[in-house]
């Protein structure tokens, strides 16, 4: 499920901002981007995310607010390494000019807003990550509520089509029975017809065309779908909804194969179209 969450806090002497973005994914998959000063805590950050988010592709980015951080520190060892590298390049390629100290200071990880001895504690960073995860969860819940409303609207259309099929089915059987009896009489051309045998054939036809069992199971799946969507216990519902949709589609296909009626087939097509729309949205639900 898509969502966004952000939070800020202090880690040692620095001000740190964390942003989380999520998109739909079958499993938990996290991409963590931390500044070099915090990169040693990547595994702890990833584990904190795993505890708060069960599913989705999560992108976490953290940055140090340089303007409000503590006094900047220079990594002299890294500074010296860059200077030595630049001098070696000057000598190797016979380059003129002096080494610009400003250029060296702009090189990666030379400047740090977290001084040695003031790098804070991993718990401070985790607290910011958890706050951003809470904001993300709230955003995802709000989107989930909107998706649930949409899905229920589509399900109501499905139930309406099922009701029309249920109303049409008995009439369709009567029409088929009358059509079969007329066809047999036309073929017999005045020959006496065995009424008992004809009644048996009509009963077999009625049993083959009867969709009441499929409609009954479909109604049960619809009720389970609504109950699952209404759950508020915090447990993921996406996989169960997906399973129920598979069963509903199976019943729709069986109903269509047994229909032998243009009106019922038209309603089955409507049902399958709406089930596909529901499926697209259920993939975004956790």
Pair (50, 77) in one structural domain = no
Assigned domain for 233 exists = yes
pLDDT at 285 over 80: no
Q: What is the largest CA-CA distance in the chain?
A: 117
169, 91 contact by CB (below 8 A): no
Pair (246, 203) in one structural domain = yes
Assigned domain for 65 exists = yes
- Residue 54 is predicted with a pLDDT of 79
- Which of 250, 285, 286 has the alpha carbon at shortest distance from 271? 250
| Mean pLDDT rounded to a whole number for the chain | 83
The domain tally of the chain equals: 3
Tokens of 87: 């001098």
- Residue 69 is predicted with a pLDDT of 46
How far is residue 76's CA from residue 81's CA, in Å, rounded to a whole number?
8
Tokens of 11: 């880690």
How far is residue 57's CA from residue 66's CA, in Å, rounded to a whole number?
29
**pTM, rounded to two decimals:** 0.65
Domain range for 64 is 3-70+121-134
Pair (188, 263) in one structural domain = yes
- Residue 17 pairs in a beta bridge with 8, 63
What percent of the chain has pLDDT above 70?
82
Tell me which residue has tokens 């998109």. Answer: 23
- Residue 59 is predicted with a pLDDT of 94
- What are 35-71's pLDDT values in tens digits? 887 888 999 999 999 988 877 889 999 998 754 445 5
pLDDT at 182 over 60: yes
Pair (147, 246) in one structural domain = yes
Pair (202, 159) in one structural domain = yes
Pair (177, 275) in one structural domain = yes
**Helix (H), strand (E) at residue 227:** helix 212-229
- What are 225-255's pLDDT values in tens digits? 999 988 877 677 888 899 999 999 999 999 9
10 Å Cβ neighbour count for 23? Answer: 13
The residue ranking higher by pLDDT, 160 or 192, is 160
Q: Quote the DSSP letter at residue 280.
A: H
Phi, psi of 64 (to 5 degrees): -95, 125
Pair (170, 127) in one structural domain = no
């Amino acid at each position: 499920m898509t969502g966004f969450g952000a939070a800020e806090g202090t880690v040692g002497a620095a001000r740190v901002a964390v942003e989380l973005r999520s998109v739909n994914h079958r499993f938990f998959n996290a991409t963590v981007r931390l500044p070099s000063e915090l990169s040693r805590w990547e595994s702890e950050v990833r584990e904190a995310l795993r505890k708060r988010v069960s599913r989705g592709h999560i992108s976490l980015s953290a940055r140090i607010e340089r303007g409000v951080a503590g006094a900047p520190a220079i990594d002299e060892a890294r500074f010296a390494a860059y200077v030595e590298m630049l001098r070696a390049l000057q000598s190797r390629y016979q380059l003129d000019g002096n080494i610009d100290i400003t250029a060296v200071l702009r090189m990666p990880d030379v400047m740090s807003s977290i001084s040695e001895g003031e790098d804070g504690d991993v718990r401070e960073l985790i607290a910011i990550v958890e706050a951003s995860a809470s904001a993300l969860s709230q955003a995802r819940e709000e989107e989930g509520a909107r998706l649930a409303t949409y899905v229920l609207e589509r399900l109501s259309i499905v139930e309406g089509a099922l009701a029309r099929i249920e109303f049409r089915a008995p009439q369709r059987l009567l029409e088929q029975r009358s059509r079969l009896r007329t066809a047999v009489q036309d073929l017999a051309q005045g020959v006496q017809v065995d009424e008992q045998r004809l009644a048996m054939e009509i009963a077999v036809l009625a049993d083959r065309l009867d969709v009441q069992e499929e409609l009954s199971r479909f109604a049960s799946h619809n009720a389970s779908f609504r109950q699952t969507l209404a759950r508020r216990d915090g447990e993921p519902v996406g996989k169960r909804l997906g399973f129920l949709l598979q069963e509903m589609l199976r019943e729709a296909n069986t109903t269509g194969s047994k229909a032998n009626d243009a009106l019922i087939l038209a309603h089955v097509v409507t049902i399958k179209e709406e089930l596909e729309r529901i499926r697209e949205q259920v993939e975004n639900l956790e």
